[in-house]
Amino acid sequence: MLHFAQIFSYGLISGALYGLVALGLSLVFGVMNYLIVAHGALIMMAAYITFWAFVYLKIDPFLFIVIVTPAFFVIGWILFKILFQSLMSFSEGEKIKNSLLISFGLLLVFSNMATLFWTADERAISTAYTGKVFDLFGVRLPYIGLGGVALAIIVIIALHLFLTRTYFGKAIRAVSLDHEAATLMGINVNRVCLVAFSLGFALAGIPGILTALHAFNPTVSFELTNKALIVLILAGFGSIKGVLIGGFLLGAIEAVGVYVMGTPYREVFGLILFVLFLMFRPQGLAGKKA
Amino acid sequence: MKRIILFVLLFACLASVPFFTTREYIYSLIILVCLYTILSHSWNLLGGFTGQISLGHSTFFGMGALVFRYVWLKGLPPYLALGVGALSSLVLACLIGFPSFKLKGHYFSIGTLALSMIALITIQNIFPGVSFVPQEYLKTYSLLPIYYMAIIAAAVTIGVIYALTRSKLGLALISVREDEDAAEAIGVNTFRHKVISMSLSTLIAGMGGGVFSYYVASYYYYVPFNLDYSFDPVLITFIGGPGTVIGPVIGSICFVLLKELFAISLGQMNVLIFGIVFILTILFLPEGLVGLMKKLRKTKKVQAVESA
């Protein structure tokens, strides 16, 4: 039983990371129907930058959020202007298809670039608190993991409040519902999309830091994109609130999978669930039938 | 007609290459080009003609390789084994591929990606070892039979695709790509045509896997299941020209040459360059290199008319 509790709590800790990973992807998809599969590669880039900052400048990863998030906001801004703005006028299906293909190219470019720059070796940041655990009735909870869970909950709630309570957040939600109606209400749709897209990129910075605290290499970009897509389908495409629950759910299911079948099949459980959801409930857990 | 003659001539030239040179390096370059041509044409049939963007072709490629290797080592002649490998891919497609047509648009893409990941992980766990060929075979090892098999398989593939572009079936597939609802409205059974397209595509992919398994003497069982074999054909086809006969061939030649050029550098420099070119192609050249050539030819004609 203790063994199961241990595996399960690790599952929930990774689940928090999965939720954070899917957050930016979900926001961008919800607002403008862009499926940015390069999201995992962005997170990997953020992880490498965090790694460098720690090794060369001795900046604590959790403090580095303040730098890496705005930096990725700017990167998102630039990439939107160069690559993604021209897709704005397409129909919904074409938008998804073209953004999927372009970001797929980006995913390959980024992960190969990372292999060239940083080689395929495993890297990890070892801070003073790496490996320290908190003992809860015999279940060992690493402090980094607990920090990750707290971070995920804070960020997702903050984004939710931003979208529901602030003027600009409401504009973003209006655009996600209907571009034309939003234009008629006097919302600058182009500007809102630009900011939402950049925000999606900025949200890749935070899981990047958590990734850097564990062992990672360039292939992590595919893994994380894959997790993000699974969470997205569990939560329902474009749902922000569902992302946290979807992430925890995926983590929990993987944990059960590990307990039943052993570690090598960890990924398979999530993937099978993913395919089943795609086929029978593509609107996600909470979504209404289209 | 002119094209068919040109094609047969080219094939004859390739078939006579071994009479002029015995350099194995040239053979393996041509084998690789043929291999990528087969793989990307298999993707082109489904993605370029029928508009179903699959990110999971490595599953069928790997299945072909796996079964080919098994029945070939059991003593079946290679060409028969190639057919068995291709058929096994089709069987796999019946089991997992056709249900995935319940998914439309981007759901199909990410669904097939998930399937190929499941296949990769499963194979890695079931067959963790290396697939060897027997010692006696290695003693008489020669690239020539492999070379002929590769060019024959590539020729068959291109022939099938060419015949398809000339047929009613090909037109129906293109109509599915352009607008599924409209195709349904004029009486094209979209589901049936998607299934036909997928069947042919997986047969070709399985054949490609067989050629891979015949060419590479020993490899880890999971290698042909690697996601690279899902992603490379997407890049090659889009850069060459999706929905064309010659596009994937041009794309494969560029891809293999770039790969050779950067063979010593760390990481896949050719994929990096192809990725950047791929993004530019999607943005500015939706018809790929073939479209670019058409455009250039047109402007030349216009200039000729103007100067006359």
Residues of A in contact with B125 (CB under 8 A): 264-265
Instruction: Give residue A290's pLDDT.
Output: 43
Whether this model's ipTM surpasses 0.90 comes out as no
Q: Give the closest-approach CA distance of A38 to chain B in angstroms.
A: 12
The partner residues of A133 in beta bridges, in order of sequence, read A142
Whether residue B235 has pLDDT greater than 80: yes
Of all residues in chain A, the percent with pLDDT exceeding 90 is 8
> Is B275 part of the contact surface with chain A (CB cutoff 8 Å)?
yes
Whether residue A125 has pLDDT greater than 80: no
Tell me which H or E stretch contains A31. Answer: helix A2-32
- Report the mean per-residue pLDDT for chain B: 86
Question: Which are the contacts of B120, defined by CB distance < 8 A and separation ≥ 6?
Answer: B58, B62, B222, B225, B226, B227
Q: Are A112 and B275 inside 8 Å of each other by CB?
A: yes
Scanning every residue of chain B, which has its alpha carbon at the shortest distance from the alpha carbon of A262? B125
Neighbours of A250 (CB within 10 A): 26
User: Quick one: how far is CA B308 from the chain centroid?
Assistant: 44
The rounded distance, in Å, linking the Cα atoms of A212 and A288 is 37
| Nearest alpha carbon to residue B69 among B43, B88, B93, B94 | B88
Residue A2: C-alpha distances to residues A6, A137, A251, A259 (Å): 6, 9, 18, 12
Tell me the backbone φ, ψ of residue A88, rounded to 5 degrees: -55, -35
Query: In the CATH scheme, what is the code of domain B24-307?
Result: 1.10.3470
Give the mean model confidence (pLDDT) for residues A159-180: 88
Of all residues in chain A, the percent with pLDDT exceeding 70 is 98
Q: Are A101 and B282 inside 8 Å of each other by CB?
A: yes
**In this structure, are residues B54 and B47 in contact, taking their beta carbons and an 8 Å threshold?**
yes
**Total number of domains constituting chain A:** 1
What is the crossing angle of helices A61-79 and A189-213, to 10°? 140
- If one compares B301 and A153, the residue with the highest pLDDT of the two is A153
Q: Are A265 and B121 inside 8 Å of each other by CB?
A: yes
Tell me if A286 is assigned to some domain.
no
The rounded distance, in Å, linking the Cα atoms of B191 and A24 is 34
The pLDDT confidence band at residue B62, using thresholds 50, 70 and 90, is very high
Domain assignment of residue A81, given as a range? 2-280
> Is A268 part of the contact surface with chain B (CB cutoff 8 Å)?
yes
Instruction: Give residue A289's pLDDT.
Output: 45
The pLDDT confidence band at residue B252, using thresholds 50, 70 and 90, is very high
Tens digits of residue pLDDT in B29-51: 899 999 999 999 999 998 888 88
Whether residue A284 has pLDDT greater than 80: no
Q: Are A105 and B282 inside 8 Å of each other by CB?
A: yes
Whether residue A166 has pLDDT greater than 70: yes
Residues of A in contact with B278 (CB under 8 A): 101, 105, 108
Q: Give the closest-approach CA distance of B53 to chain A in angstroms.
A: 9
Nearest by CB to residue B275, choosing from A96, A105, A267, is A105
The rounded distance, in Å, linking the Cα atoms of A142 and A169 is 35
Whether residue A287 has pLDDT greater than 70: no
Instruction: Give residue B272's pLDDT.
Output: 84
The tokens describing B302, both together, are 């216009």
Instruction: Give residue A288's pLDDT.
Output: 52
Tell me if A288 is assigned to some domain.
no
- pTM exceeds 0.80, yes or no: yes
The pLDDT confidence band at residue A186, using thresholds 50, 70 and 90, is confident
Three-class DSSP category at A223: helix
Give the mean model confidence (pLDDT) for residues B14-37: 85
The pLDDT confidence band at residue A43, using thresholds 50, 70 and 90, is very high
Tens digits of residue pLDDT in B89-123: 999 888 877 777 777 777 888 888 888 888 888 88
Instruction: Give residue A286's pLDDT.
Output: 65
Residues of A in contact with B115 (CB under 8 A): 271, 275
Positive or negative CA dihedral for B14, B15, B20, B21? positive
Q: What is the dihedral of CA B213, B218, B220, B221, to 10 degrees?
A: 40
Give the mean model confidence (pLDDT) for residues A154-165: 89
Tell me if A290 is assigned to some domain.
no
**In this structure, are residues A249 and A15 in contact, taking their beta carbons and an 8 Å threshold?**
yes
| Nearest alpha carbon to residue B205 among B66, B308, B25, B299 | B66
Tell me if A78 is assigned to some domain.
yes
Give the mean model confidence (pLDDT) for residues A84-99: 83
Tell me if A289 is assigned to some domain.
no
Instruction: Give residue A77's pLDDT.
Output: 92
| Nearest alpha carbon to residue B147 among B240, B272, B273, B14 | B14
Q: Are A116 and B110 inside 8 Å of each other by CB?
A: no
Scanning every residue of chain B, which has its alpha carbon at the shortest distance from the alpha carbon of A86? B283
Mutation for testing the A interface, residue in B279, B280, B281, B285 having most A CBs under 10 Å? B279
Tell me if A126 is assigned to some domain.
yes
| Nearest alpha carbon to residue B42 among B234, B271, B194 | B234
Each as own residue / partner, the long-range contacts of residues A129-135 (CB below 8 Å, 24 or more positions apart, any chain) are A130/A213
Whether residue B61 has pLDDT greater than 60: yes
Residues of B in contact with A220 (CB under 8 A): none
Tell me if A186 is assigned to some domain.
yes
- Listed in order, strand segments (DSSP E) in chain A are 133-136, 139-142
Specify the pairing of strand A139-142 against strand B219-220.
unpaired
Instruction: Give residue B308's pLDDT.
Output: 66
DSSP B100: G
Residue A14, domain CATH: 1.10.3470
Annotated domain spans of chain B: 24-307
Among A240-249, A280-289, B269-278, the minimum mean pLDDT is found in: A280-289
Instruction: Give residue A137's pLDDT.
Output: 75
Residue type, B43: W
Instruction: Give residue B207's pLDDT.
Output: 92
Whether residue B146 has pLDDT greater than 80: yes
Instruction: Give residue B265's pLDDT.
Output: 65
Tell me if A285 is assigned to some domain.
no
Three-class DSSP category at A139: strand
Give the mean model confidence (pLDDT) for residues B278-287: 86
Instruction: Give residue B41's pLDDT.
Output: 93
Tens digits of residue pLDDT in B180-232: 888 888 888 888 888 889 899 999 999 999 999 988 888 888 888 988 898 88
Q: Are B114 and A265 inside 8 Å of each other by CB?
A: no
